[in-house]
Copies of this chain bind each other. A is one copy, B any other.
Amino acid sequence: MSGERILLAHGGGGELTDNLIREVILSGLGEAAGGSLEDAAVFPAKGSVAFTTDSYVVNPLFFPGGDLGRLAVCGTVNDLAMRGARPLALSLAFIIEEGFLFDDLRRVVESVRQAALEAGVKILTGDTKVVERGSADGLFVNTAGVGEVVAPREITLCGVRPGDEIIVSGPLGNHAISVLAQREGLSFETVVESDVAPLWDMVEALMGAVGDDLHALNDPTRGGLAASLNTLSAASGAAIEIEEGAVPVEPAVAFAAEMLGLDVLSLANEGKFVAAVAAGTSDRAISVISDGEKGAHCAVIGRARKGAGVSSRTPGGGKRIVEMPYGEDAPRIC
């Protein structure tokens, strides 16, 4: 029924909760839901499993190129992919503000369904809580994920070695600009769409192409490329130097970032990865990454060296330090 809203009692654990779970969530997830209605799902596993979680509090819930539901699936399967793990199972936990529209919940669940099918993962378990009006902002989602590590050698943040080439899988900043523009009601000539997408297929292809020469992976989400590179550099004990002119950015994103006074290097992405590959293997890497639509504009952006910290060579030949962002730029971006 259009206009129908969530009640506090939908979170009480009784008949209304059961109805909500069966009629909206499980039936909306359809073939993307696996298993039973038990509180815990059981499935077979062997070898190394990867395990991760993220809560998603993006505001607004719907933005060009995606929404909270798509984000909650992609963000978590991408954290698994960054460890070389094929996603096996997701959990899906909603915290809903009393009065939230059923129709909006159905839209989010439909996005979860589509993204889960795209990512090749099943939703195996979940939870639904409702809080009073004013005690949450619409809808928060948490997903946790379990994956099967298929990387031949463990992929960690610590794997960058001096000499490695640094690759990004595509243009940066789209997710943050899409969400910020929607939130602030800004319209630019070109609508910037979020890049939110599952990355496992690209990572799998990359591992197939370069094998053990894939030294490290990270997804530049909150804090963007700047946070990602600083994290890799600090964890690995290596310096990273990028060519600022080599970092792919769509003109509309560059323009919007300029207007908003934001550094593209600190903007969140939800469908990109940074990879460190052994010297001499970046051609093979770029070749397989650019094979797919999501990696069409991937690029080698720099190189790791002995030392510490992250720096960027500007097109004019200067050099600047790329700092770890402090954190205040863009709240509730994911």
Binding site for B on A (CB under 8 A): 7-18, 36-57, 59, 79-80, 82-83, 85, 89, 91-95, 124-127, 129-132, 134-137, 140, 142, 144-147, 149, 154, 156-157, 219, 221-223, 227, 235, 266, 268, 324-332
Contacts and interface: CB of A to CB of B under 8 A. Distances in A.
A82 B39 contact: yes
A131 B40 contact: no
Main secondary structure of the interface of A (DSSP, over half): mixed
A43 B49 contact: yes
Given A93-B142, A95-B140, A135-B136, A326 B12 contact: yes
Given A15-B324, A46-B47, 7 more contacts: A14-B266, A38-B83, A40-B145, A42-B154, A55-B142, A56-B129, A57-B95
A144 B91 contact: yes
Given A91-B53, A95-B55, A85 B40 contact: yes
**Which 9 pairs of residues, A with B, have the shortest CB-CB distance?**
A13-B222, A12-B327, A144-B144, A14-B327, A40-B52, A53-B91, A14-B325, A13-B223, A9-B328
A70 B223 CA distance: 31
